[in-house]
Amino acid sequence: MRSVQVILREDVPSLGHAGDLVQVKPGFARNYLIPQGKAIAATEASKRELEHTKRVIADKVRREVEQLEAERKKIDGVVVEITAQAGEEGKLFGSVTAAQIAEKLAERGLEVDRRRIDLAEPIKDVGEHDVVVRLHRQVTATLKIKVTAAA
């Protein structure tokens, strides 16, 4: 069975990610992947270019991770205090949102996008809660949220 090599230019489900060198049937490459701009033919020149691009991207990611590590050190262990309306048993009327946490962090000079704050489940109780901040796929920070009832 014949097959050809192509370099994916974007993620293709069940085939691979952008930048992968994959084997596919000639018709699939000729009729779908290449015309749609999802892949290019794997020539020697394109393989060299792919290797160069991968090195450049890896270097860029390494520098980005180093910067985010410094930011992680600033965020790790920070205690954010939030006051909210609560019932007698410590249940909040509503919940603490990622936007509220991001706002409190901004007040301290730590700019974090609310979408980076990972609330595994809504914070609906008074007390201390650990929250993960995903700065990058490889870099995460943990901070404490201390929720108190409004007087």
**Confidence class of residue 1 from pLDDT cuts 50, 70 and 90?**
confident
For residue 37, which amino acid is it?
Answer: G
Greater confidence, 25 or 53?
25
What number is the average pLDDT over the span 113-128? Answer: 92
For residue 70, give both structure tokens.
């410094």
Taken in order of first residue, the domains within the chain and their CATH numbers are: 4-66 (3.40.5.10), 72-149 (3.10.430.100)
Query: How far apart are the C-alpha atoms of 33 and 11, rounded to whole Å?
Result: 11
What number is the average pLDDT over the span 116-120? Answer: 91
pLDDT value at 124 more than 80: yes
**Confidence class of residue 56 from pLDDT cuts 50, 70 and 90?**
very high
Identify the pLDDT of residue 151: 67
Decide the pairing of beta strands 4-8 and 21-24. antiparallel
Identify the pLDDT of residue 64: 92
Q: How far is CA 63 from CA 57, 69, 109, 133, in A?
A: 10, 10, 23, 19
Average pLDDT, the chain: 92
pLDDT tens string 57-100: 899 999 999 999 999 999 998 999 999 999 888 899 999 999 99
What sections of the chain are H helices per DSSP?
Answer: 26-28, 44-75, 98-107
Q: How far is CA 16 from CA 8, 12, 13, 24, in A?
A: 7, 6, 6, 11
Q: What is the pTM of this model?
A: 0.67
Identify the pLDDT of residue 80: 92
Residue 89: helix, strand or coil by DSSP? Answer: coil
Q: 46: burial class by Cβ within 10 Å (0-12, 13-18, 19+)?
A: middle
**Confidence class of residue 145 from pLDDT cuts 50, 70 and 90?**
very high
